[in-house]
Amino acid sequence: MNTTERRISTTVLVIGTGGSGLRAAIELAEQGVDVLALGKRPRMDTHTSLAAGGINAALGTMDAEDSWQQHAADTIKESYFLANPHTAEIVAKGAAQGIADLERYGMAFAREDDGRISQRFFGAHTYRRTAFAGDYTGLEIQRSLVNRATQLNIPILDSVYVTRILTRDGAVFGAYGFDLTDGTPYLIHADAVILAAGGHNRIWRRTSSRRDENTGDSFRLAVEAGARLRDPELVQFHPSGILEPENAAGTLISEAARGEGGILRNALGERFMQNYDPERMELSTRDRVALAAYTEIKEGRGTEKGGVWLDVSHLPRETIMTRLPRVYQTMLELQMLDITAEPIEIAPTAHYSMGGVWVRPEDHSTEVDGLYAIGEASSGLHGANRLGGNSLIELLVFGRIVGRAAAAYSAGLEAQNRSHDAEAEARAEVADLLAADGHENVRALQRAVRNTMTEHAGVVRDEQGLTAGLRELDEIEVRTKNVGIHPDIAGFQDLAHAFDLKASLIAARATLEAARERRETRGCHNRSDYPDLDPALQVNLVWSPRTGVVREAIPEVPDEIAALIQTQEVSTEGKLVE
């Protein structure tokens, strides 16, 4: 282990090197501001690179009558009126600029014969406004951002794990962390910190996130720095994640499989969507399909392994090979399964954190001076159901805005007040864990958290289960006092897992407490004991360990947007539902 502490100073520190973190870093570098970006996994392997579907902007290339106002209206309606209207307006208005920025960085969008950017339908959009690059849109965005960051010589450290954001008197002055390979401690001083380290869906057993990402790092870092979380209970479950192998459980089967004509059946061979949405069947919205599959499994009509069947084998082989090549390849590699001949076993899987760190709509600042949060780490845009394709555009719009806001904040400082006590605490936290030689295994405790969340806070929840989940968390927290940490020849992953566990516990507690408080069914949040939507709960639930859950009013929707919110369901005819 290298015990020599590395000390770095920068103007703005970005934690997370996915789409939102890199976009903020690029904005800062283009403004001539010193920036450093840290990631705990390689920059080309961030969560953004997994996004397949597309990125939204009301460009009007296919449907001239589209507008940013309609995009905002669709976003708010789909959020079940929990989105902040100002946030929705900022994203919808700034979306075209976000696409233009990507073009400037060399992104290869799919185009029509005359050169226009192609746009396609995604579920619940009034018009075609989803731009894309094959079914690798996220990967292409990440590649474009990494290339631009390289041109600008932005320093990116790929294997630094941040353990704490350093604050003094309610303002940030940097962060502390260590290198995952050799354990080198890092003390980084910065005027402003941008938190772009993802969401918390890895705290469920089946999830579309990979191991060791989205364990709630952003939530822990923000809360321990003094910030709060908003709507942590609002988690989008994707209807179709695979069950095996164990290390890939939750890997997504693209909804294109249903869009192309895939059929869902239970273990009895029944096409069950006709009982839940007879008009749209498999092309229903994400939350409804997930709820339907969950219900079939829960009521005993699921497969032996606890799933349902998604069958595309009746489709022409050519359709599968040309329209679903990634699904075909994935199933062949992971299960030696030929989807042209056999059905795929799937179940709902935790996919996206729609809540996150509490931020102000205009600049995504938190209540901690100099601390900002963006992307899946933040909250305000998605409410109780994310509109397909909105997550990627959010990264571009707020990456740009937050980069500028952090630069302006730094420029306005008279001095950077540091705290030796805060630095000493951060050092001691790492040292104490490295010295820990208890009998509890960190991985086993993480698994216990995932089991608790899967059992008590999955697609459908109730008071009894959520309260039981909180009791189980209390027990797990007691056990964490006896963990053993063992760095080995392969590096300091074990130490990182201990911090991941701390993050998971904070994220799980926030989720369970807020889910118990939201005594209604709205969007992704299904309460079997409160099956109806409660108008009194058209509020955001804001959580911190100091205050528990408090209700926060949502601003009125501006008239020009409200007038466009359609009361009837948007037609799904000919649409690929995302």
Q: Which residues have a catalytic role annotated?
A: 238, 258
Give the separation between CA 92 and CA 85, rounded to whole angstroms: 10
Name 12's bridge partners.
35, 192
Q: What angle do CA 50, 52, 56 make, to 5 degrees?
A: 120
| Residues 283 and 239 sit within 8 Å (Cβ to Cβ) | no
Q: What is the gyration radius of the CA atoms in the chain, in angstroms? A: 23
Which positions ≥6 away from 440 have C-beta within 8 Å? 479, 480, 482, 483, 484
86-89: long-range pairs with CB below 8 Å, 24+? 86/361, 86/362, 86/555, 87/361, 87/380, 87/381, 88/381, 88/561, 89/558, 89/561
- 3-state DSSP assignment of residue 25: helix
Give the separation between CA 306 and CA 301, rounded to whole angstroms: 9
| Residues 359 and 365 sit within 8 Å (Cβ to Cβ) | yes
182 token code pair? 């050799």
Give the separation between CA 552 and CA 426, rounded to whole angstroms: 32
Q: Are strands 35-38 and 156-157 parallel, antiparallel or unpaired?
A: parallel
What phi and psi, each to the nearest 5 degrees, are found at residue 206?
-105, 125
Give the separation between CA 263 and CA 235, rounded to whole angstroms: 25
SS (H, E, C) 301-343: HCCCCCCEEEECCCCCHHHHHHHCHHHHHHHHHHHCCCCCCCC
Give the separation between CA 12 and CA 174, rounded to whole angstroms: 9
Give the separation between CA 131 and CA 138, rounded to whole angstroms: 11
Give the separation between CA 172 and CA 149, rounded to whole angstroms: 25
Which positions ≥6 away from 8 have C-beta within 8 Å? 36, 186, 187, 188, 189
Name 252's bridge partners.
241
C-alpha 220, offset from chain centre? 15
What DSSP string describes 228-252?
-EE-TT-EEEEEEEE--SGGGTT-B
What DSSP string describes 440-492?
B-HHHHHHHHHHHHHHHSSSEE-HHHHHHHHHHHHHHHHHGGGBB---BTTBS
Q: Identity (one letter) of the amino acid at 470?
A: L
Q: How far is CA 333 from CA 29, 326, 500, in A?
A: 41, 11, 29
